[in-house]
Amino acid sequence: MRIGLVVHPTRDVQGPLAALRHCAGEQDVEFVQVPVHGQQQEVAPFGEIETCAVVMAIGGDGTALAAVRVAAPQGLPVLAVACGSLGVLTGVDAQEIRSAVERFERGDWHPRSLPALELECADGERFTAYNDMAIVRRGAGQVRVLARVDGNLYARLAGDGCIVSTPVGSSAYALAAGGPLLVPGCGSYVLTPLSSHGGSIPPLVLGGGDRLQIELRASRGGGRLEIDGQLAAEEARSMDIRLRPEAATLVTFEGEEPFLAGLRRRGLIGDSPRILADDARSS
């Protein structure tokens, strides 16, 4: 079995790599590094992703997203290993890497489908976002955005821009901007305005079959387009957005931490202080 590696660009990954090399020595397993954008660490010989059975990401959720971007077009699953704290996508601790490889090789794993946003810009250029896409103002002045759902006007906003997120991405930038959490598998996606200048424009949850149209109006500074946290275009354009429900596959195992439990552990969800005070009095 050949494993394709994608590693964090700067984090120390020698511990997980040592465990993986031990695996390769004990089993009929080899690994190669697959090229990704922004790669800075060279940890193994480079190889063709088409020859791999699985792509392993070692790092955080950003590394897992980089692995998904190269694995999904090839129809390959991603085994995301956390080099640090567990995240939304990285469900396997680095200390469990040998067990994870063994379980994958014998088929003791479950596929978790990830949706993606399919973007088609007015000039015909296409992008895919597995976490979120954001239109963010580039400089002075406000970005002016008009949003329609299936051709029906939702809102016109002037402000810092907007974010469109998948269910997984709803726990990232969109949550920080005041958007709602979507549970994985809900089949929806969400539009979250960024610091709108006046008006009443709440975040909007869209059904999986809805088509979102974003139209950019002239503004002084203009706006840039970010895909999964990376700059995709210096100048954002008007676009149509759809949700593709099964765009990528993550490797999961029995006993992995549930989505909401992970958010609570990381402090992204916190209980009301009054509830905590009640707990303290009763303990």
3-state secondary structure of 171: helix
Q: CB count, 10 Å around CB of 236?
A: 25
| DSSP for 213-237, written as a single string | EEEEEP-SS-EEEEETTEEEESS--
Specify whether 61 is catalytic. yes
Of 172, 171, 165, 156, nearest in space to 188 by CA:
165
Query: Which amino acid, 30?
Result: E
**In degrees rounded to 5, what are phi and psi of residue 31?**
-140, 150
Q: Which residue in 28, 61, 108, 210 is the catalytic one? A: 61
The tokens describing 229, both together, are 């946290």
Q: CB count, 10 Å around CB of 91?
A: 25
Q: Which residue has the tokens 């975040």?
A: 203
Of 198, 222, 197, nearest in space to 140 by CA:
222
Q: Name the residues annotated as catalytic.
A: 61
